Amino acid sequence: MNTKLLPVTPESIAEAGEIIRAGGLVGFPTETVYGLGANALNGDAVRMIFEAKGRPGDNPLITHVATEAEIPPLIRGHIPAAARALMDAYWPGPMTLIFPKSDLIPPEVSAGLDTVGIRMPSHPAARALIQAAGVPIAAPSANRSGRPSPTTAKHVMDDMDGRIPLILDGGPCDVGVESTVIDVTGDVPRVLRPGGVTPEMIAKACGAVEVDGAVMRPLREGEKPRSPGMKYRHYAPTGDLTIFEGEAEAVARAICARYDEAPDNAAILALPGHEALYGARRVIPLGQADSASSVAAALFAVLRQLDDEGAEHIFSEAVDAEGVGLAVMNRLGRAAAFHIVKV
Ligand code: TXA
Ligand code: MG
């Protein structure tokens, strides 16, 4: 299959909408990461997503809508008060809410669960695509399973060339990490995957929040995850990754010592402004500015770069696990199999 890469225009959106309506797949930008979309109401189309990604069949997909009116037919029961407050505060935006699902959602989307994740993205191209398709769009991140999520159209092309007919190029993604997944089926909203909507923001909108314990540690032996995605390491760099946490100068001394002992092909991930602490060693800056949102926006591109360059020993600074920093440490921590050294 020949994969077309088109800039976002009214014509390319119409073409993409047509492909989705006809049961095909499209790579498209969102404010978080690029998605690989199919008609969420068509189980056969959704199955093709799993094939194109090489995704385990037990990991459910998020259903994307452009308007609230699309939601009631997709869920079972009413919208709980906490969910209502979150929707009013943070949609459209980088937040996915888990509801009991209706029969309209095929088992391919929910991977056999009786719940469905719904997200209303803010990216204008994503919204226009959902409207052009005229159906809700099921979309995971548009990477091949086990690769970092794509934050540019080129990343999607690198992973999906020849597997899908069309990728819409909307430039680099703003947020850079996937949406916050929040289970709103219980009494207190529970964060299953941290993202751009932070626990602090959730508590502010609806008074309470819980962060699932498995967000910052590996699953325990025999533990059943609340979200199937927690089972998977998602992405493991080709090289071994260790994270160092502590005061900046002490971290730099510890990293330099390990770097200097390492054989060839070592690399350091450091916050912008910290490069000088590492002298002539090979440093890849984590973002443009020393802020968690800048690190989030850069993170997946940096991880792809490490693989492209064949880095074998990777030493990374930690970021404060506050605000969107929690999402960064969740993704970085998993990439490192939670190998975190406290300095
Ligand atoms: O920002 C995002 O969320 C991006 C863009 C494209 O919207 N999508 C995305 O999808 O990251 P994906 O499939 O890569 O990650 C979805 C995560 C998985 O960890 C999955 O296990 C979890 O959401 N999930 C989906 N439906 C769920 C459900 N019903 N219950 C629990 N977890 C669910
Ligand atoms: Mg993904």
In this prediction, residue 324 carries a pLDDT of 96
Q: Is the CB of 119 under 6 A from ligand 1?
A: yes
Judged on CB neighbours under 10 Å (0-12, 13-18, 19+), 246 is middle
Which ligand is closest in space to the CA of residue 181? 1
Tokens 């499209």, residue located = 26
In this prediction, residue 219 carries a pLDDT of 85
Q: Model-level pTM?
A: 0.97
Q: Which residues are near ligand 2, the ion (C-beta closer than 5 Å)?
A: 140-141
How far is Cα 44 from Cα 260, in angstroms, rounded to an integer? 53
Helix segments in 197-291, DSSP class H: 199-206, 248-261
Tokens 């047509």, residue located = 18
**Ligand 2 geometric centre to CA of 36 (Å):** 10
Q: Are 307 and 159 in contact (CB under 8 A)?
A: no
Token code pair at residue 331: 């993704």
In this prediction, residue 180 carries a pLDDT of 98
Q: Is the CB of 330 under 6 A from ligand 1?
A: no
**Ligand 1 geometric centre to CA of 30 (Å):** 14
Domains, in order of start, for the chain: 4-216 (3.90.870.10), 240-342 (3.40.50.11030)
User: What is the CA angle 224-143-177, rounded to 5?
Assistant: 70
Judged on CB neighbours under 10 Å (0-12, 13-18, 19+), 340 is middle
Token code pair at residue 91: 């949609």
How far is Cα 312 from Cα 306, in angstroms, rounded to an integer? 8
Which ligand is closest in space to the CA of residue 35? 1
Q: pLDDT of the chain along its 343 residues, tens only?
A: 999 999 999 999 999 999 999 999 999 999 999 999 999 999 999 999 999 999 999 999 999 999 999 999 999 999 999 999 999 999 999 999 999 999 999 999 999 999 999 999 999 999 999 999 999 999 999 999 989 999 999 999 999 999 999 999 999 999 999 999 999 999 999 999 999 999 999 999 999 999 999 888 888 888 888 998 888 767 788 889 999 999 999 999 999 999 999 988 999 999 999 999 999 999 999 999 889 999 999 999 999 999 999 999 999 999 999 999 999 999 999 999 999 999 9
How far is Cα 38 from Cα 16, in angstroms, rounded to an integer? 10
In this prediction, residue 21 carries a pLDDT of 98
- Please provide the DSSP assignment of 33-95 as one string: S-EEEEETT-HHHHHHHHHHHT--TTS--EEE-SSGGGSGGGBSSPPPHHHHHHHHHH-SSSE
How far is Cα 291 from Cα 300, in angstroms, rounded to an integer? 16
Nearest alpha-carbon partner for 225 in 258, 256, 234, 298: 234
